[in-house]
Amino acid sequence: MCILYDKDNRIAITFMAEPSILKLVLESKSHVWGGSLKVGATATIRLKFLRKKQLPAVFEALEPEARTITTRRSKVTVKKEDNTLTLIFEAGDIPALRAALNSYLHWIRLTKDVLDKIETWC
């Protein structure tokens, strides 16, 4: 694990584990989002997939959830580019950010575990 601080005092944590690399950038800032939520915390996660077939499946599992806003406390944007999945979290406070991070990381792990099992059976 590598922890770095940039000039704006943001924290970048990189976890290296097979078969993907997880980079988590945590940032604290304050601005108005959508006219109603004051953003107090943000996080960006970039996951590199070594198996390019898994990225579309994970993206398709997360994208509908990110598209429908179920809470006013946080917002998540999901993007894919090449073999990288990027999740951008914006939340009104740290507990809301943590809840969103935990949910999405759990869904990613669950989807990836299912895909790994399917690949070993086929």
DSSP track, 56-100:
HHHHHHHHHHHHS---SSEEEEEEEETTEEEEEEEESSHHHHHHH
111 or 8: which leads in pLDDT: 111
Against a cut of 0.75, is the pTM above it? no
* Residue numbers of the domain that contains 33: 2-121
CATH assignment at residue 69 = 3.30.310.50
In one-letter notation, the amino acid at residue 84 is T
Cα(85)–Cα(82) distance, rounded to whole angstroms? 8
The share of the chain scoring above pLDDT 90, in percent, equals 16
Total domains in the chain come to 1
pLDDT digits (tens, 9 = 90+) for 52-66: 788 999 999 999 888
